[in-house]
């Protein structure tokens, strides 16, 4: 039953309105002044405030303002005479729902109140519909996201937006079974302990502290906990409503499905990668001239990268790219690879395709996206005369420039079907000759230092 509070300093109006509205089935309480009215609003449970404007102490305008602060959802209708009509209009601009011009009859009173409740219902339905549409869009996005960090980010941002939470975080269970923080908004360090507890219990937990109200939702598939999402509203915020919780459960379920897909997908990628690595080993094992080449290039890349004080992520890229840089050679026939006589233009074309083939072979492995670029460009040159894309030194990054030099060094230092390995002196000479045209000068300087 909707509850109405009538505030007027005139007993007659108060009693008349009360009788009419109670007759309509509303629960009605009354107040003779603003102060008493505020104390009633503070107690909560009031849906509509029907107030006079001109009252001693706190007038109607001020009452509405203060009441809105106590309960932002409170509906209000102003009762006013002609003299204060302009004030009533102002009250509407400031958030009152409607006004009743005194003297009003019973029908006008009934109509105004029922109109206000009707409009409120429509607004609520609209808001719910909007929320559902938003939820649908988010859950579609969640199901289309496979990358764990992107998924965590999307989940948290949507959850915060839908519940007006102030801060939160998503923790995921890593391979070793530990909880790892995937994404946080605001400081969440104080919540870590409860995150672990929610994961252990496998059910939602709530916590109220001086900092506000927090909830912890396990991201679960069956009995398996894949992670935990936590959200917090500040000291002054409202707590999480049953609607909030329902919505968060839906989001958490959808995210858990996507997380499980992500696990399956990355297992699939790992399996694919290990197949490729075996292929690469097999390719070199069958060829005495290139046996161990990738391994040696990898080691040299790391040696060089240390001299450059390369960022951790770039060193990692080299770790990923170097062992696989020649994988594209699986598409070249042994006849061409082992030819002792001069290569024909067609043979060259076949050989020059190997960086592009490698790029394609590695494409299904999402996390090698960056490393693939290095693989693709390990035969480019500073002067843009390399292959496959003719990039120049300005377009190549340092890890790529490093692998270009490391690859060339190992090629020169190894026997080939058509020539013996080069002496150290010849190699130094070749690097000096190619400095600035084939090789990046800064990398040449470092390898010459290493060779001397």
Residues that bind Fe ion (CB under 5 A): 326
User: Which residue, among 17, 120, 14, 118, has the nearest Cα to 75 in the 3D structure?
Assistant: 120
Shortest separation between residue 334's beta carbon and Fe ion, angstroms:
16
Q: Which is nearer to Fe ion, 66 or 339 (CB)?
A: 339
Helix (H) / strand (E) containing 377? none
Rounded to an integer, what distance in angstroms lies between the CA atom of residue 345 and that of residue 368?
32
Rounded to an integer, what distance in angstroms lies between the CA atom of residue 9 and that of residue 51?
10
| Three-state secondary structure call for residue 33 | coil
Contacts of residue 53, Cβ cutoff 8 Å, sequence gap at least 6: 59, 60, 61, 78, 79, 80, 84, 87, 88, 91
Residue number of the CB atom closest to Fe ion: 326
Shortest separation between residue 326's beta carbon and Fe ion, angstroms:
5
Rounded to an integer, what distance in angstroms lies between the CA atom of residue 250 and that of residue 91?
40
Shortest separation between residue 371's beta carbon and Fe ion, angstroms:
15
Q: Which is nearer to Fe ion, 353 or 370 (CB)?
A: 353
Contacts of residue 217, Cβ cutoff 8 Å, sequence gap at least 6: 198, 204, 228, 229, 230, 231, 248, 249, 252
Q: Which is nearer to Fe ion, 52 or 326 (CB)?
A: 326
Q: Which is nearer to Fe ion, 47 or 326 (CB)?
A: 326
- Phi first, then psi: what are they for 20, rounded to 5°? -65, -45
Shortest separation between residue 257's beta carbon and Fe ion, angstroms:
42
Q: Which is nearer to Fe ion, 320 or 326 (CB)?
A: 326
Q: Which is nearer to Fe ion, 155 or 440 (CB)?
A: 440
**Alpha helices for 1-84 (secondary structure H):** 11-23, 34-43, 60-70
User: Which residue, among 436, 437, 409, has the nearest Cα to 424 in the 3D structure?
Assistant: 409
Rounded to an integer, what distance in angstroms lies between the CA atom of residue 278 and that of residue 107?
86
| Three-state secondary structure call for residue 27 | strand
| Three-state secondary structure call for residue 253 | helix
Shortest separation between residue 351's beta carbon and Fe ion, angstroms:
9
Rounded to an integer, what distance in angstroms lies between the CA atom of residue 136 and that of residue 220?
20
- Phi first, then psi: what are they for 73, rounded to 5°? -90, 0
Q: Which is nearer to Fe ion, 322 or 440 (CB)?
A: 322
Shortest separation between residue 261's beta carbon and Fe ion, angstroms:
35
Helix (H) / strand (E) containing 105? none
Q: Which is nearer to Fe ion, 8 or 410 (CB)?
A: 410
Shortest separation between residue 349's beta carbon and Fe ion, angstroms:
15
Identify whether the C-beta of residue 244 lies closer than 8 Å to the C-beta of residue 238: no
CA distances from 409 to 89, 294, 313, 417 (A): 84, 12, 24, 17
Q: Which is nearer to Fe ion, 46 or 337 (CB)?
A: 337
Shortest separation between residue 393's beta carbon and Fe ion, angstroms:
19
Q: Which is nearer to Fe ion, 326 or 410 (CB)?
A: 326
Shortest separation between residue 407's beta carbon and Fe ion, angstroms:
6
Identify whether the C-beta of residue 145 lies closer than 8 Å to the C-beta of residue 258: yes
Shortest separation between residue 322's beta carbon and Fe ion, angstroms:
11
């Amino acid at each position: 039953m909707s509850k109405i509070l009538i505030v007027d300093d005139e007993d007659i109006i108060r009693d008349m309105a009360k009788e009419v509205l109670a007759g309509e089935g509303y629960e009605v309480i009354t107040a003779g002044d603003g102060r008493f009215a505020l104390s009633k609003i503070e107690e909560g449970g009031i849906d509509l405030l029907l107030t006079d404007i001109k009252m001693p102490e706190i007038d109607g305008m001020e009452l509405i303002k203060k009441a809105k602060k106590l309960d932002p959802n409170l509906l209000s209708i102003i009762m006013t005479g002609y003299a204060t009509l302009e004030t009533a209009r102002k009250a509407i601009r400031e958030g009152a729902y409607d006004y009743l011009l005194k003297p009003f009859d019973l029908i006008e009173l009934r109509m105004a109140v029922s109109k206000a409740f009707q409009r409120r219902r429509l607004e609520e339905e609209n808001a719910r519909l909007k929320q559902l549409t938003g939820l649908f869009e988010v859950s579609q996005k969640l199901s289309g996201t496979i990358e764990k960090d992107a998924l965590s980010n999307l989940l948290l941002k949507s959850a915060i937006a839908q519940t007006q939470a102030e801060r939160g975080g998503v923790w995921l269970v890593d391979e070793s079974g530990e909880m790892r923080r995937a994404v946080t908004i605001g400081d969440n360090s104080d919540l870590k302990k409860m995150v672990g507890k929610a994961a252990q219990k496998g059910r939602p937990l709530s916590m109220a502290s001086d900092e506000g109200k927090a909830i912890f939702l396990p991201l679960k598939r069956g009995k398996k906990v894949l992670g935990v999402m936590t959200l917090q509203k500040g000291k002054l915020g409202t707590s999480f409503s049953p609607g909030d919780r329902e919505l968060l459960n839906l989001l958490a379920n959808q995210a858990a499905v996507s997380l499980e897909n992500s696990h399956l997908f990355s297992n699939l990628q790992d399996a694919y990668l290990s197949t490729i690595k075996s292929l690469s080993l097999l390719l070199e094992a069958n060829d005495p001239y290139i046996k161990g080449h990738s391994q040696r290039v990898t080691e040299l890349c790391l040696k060089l990268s240390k001299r450059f004080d390369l960022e951790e992520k770039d060193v990692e890229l080299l770790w990923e790219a170097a062992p696989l840089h020649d994988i594209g050679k699986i598409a070249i026939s042994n006849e061409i690879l082992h030819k002792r006589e001069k290569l024909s233009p067609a043979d060259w074309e076949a050989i020059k395709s190997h960086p592009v083939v490698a790029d394609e072979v590695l494409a299904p492995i999402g996390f090698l996206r960056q490393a693939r670029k290095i693989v693709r460009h390990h035969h480019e040159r500073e002067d843009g005369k390399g292959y496959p894309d003719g990039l120049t030194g300005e377009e190549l990054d340092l890890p790529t420039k490093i692998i270009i030099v490391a690859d060339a060094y190992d090629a020169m230092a190894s026997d080939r079907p058509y020539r013996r390995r080069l002496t150290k002196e010849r190699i130094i000479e070749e690097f000096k000759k190619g400095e600035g045209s084939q090789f990046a000068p800064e990398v040449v300087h470092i390898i010459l230092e290493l060779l001397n």
